[in-house]
Amino acid sequence: MIRFGRFMLSLGLCLSTSFAYADDDSLLIPATHQCSLERITENPKLGYEECLTFAQLGYADAQFTLGEYWYQGHYTPRDYQQALKWFEQASVQGHALAQLRLGTMFYRGEGAPANTIQAYIVLKMSAINGSDEALDSADQVALQMQRNELDISNQVLAQIFRSYLLELSSETYTPSTR
């Protein structure tokens, strides 16, 4: 639960657009275009290595793509442990789709023991970060939960919100001078 709590503190943080230099020219381009499953399809070894490089540098979209790479198993044997690792890293940064996939994995017991409490919390976080599908999935998970599990989940979510609001209130607001 501690590991889970760590990434939940990133609640509400918007993904900032990250930039990296392109391989073929010196223009700055969004890093999200550097790594995709389509690129892996074109040249699996090079595509995977590019994704891995960007994922290791902390780009959430690349981490999500590697999670999908391992989760789907189209280009390599399916590996839920690897998928879970990369989805967790992207989730820490508030990546809604990674949170959706992670919550689904927790619910199904893919890569980790099934845990409806974790699933519900992560799916709610995904919904907060913009995934309509996660909101529906969280509602479906809630229907499978016992009352005490739902209470625990809502207590954890409330604590996450309190921590996030305290963090926001402790930051000094300085208006932009532009």
Q: Where are the domains of the chain?
A: 28-93, 95-167
Q: Spell out where the chain has E strands.
A: 19-21, 28-30
Report which of residues 71 and 175 the model is more confident about: 71
Concatenate the DSSP letters of all residues of 38-59 into one string: HHHHHSHHHHHHHHHHHHHTT-
Higher per-residue confidence, 46 vs 16: 46
How many whole angstroms separate alpha carbon 137 and alpha carbon 171? 34
The model's pLDDT over 53-110, given as tens digits with 9 standing for 90+, comes to: 999 999 999 999 999 999 999 888 999 999 999 999 999 999 999 999 999 999 999 9
Instruction: Report which secondary-structure segment, H or E, holds 151.
Output: helix 147-170
When pLDDT is averaged across residues 142-161 and rounded to a whole number, the result is: 96
| Confidence at 167, pLDDT banded by 50, 70, 90 | confident
Query: Whole-model pTM above 0.85?
Result: no
Whose tokens are 């044997």? That residue is: 77
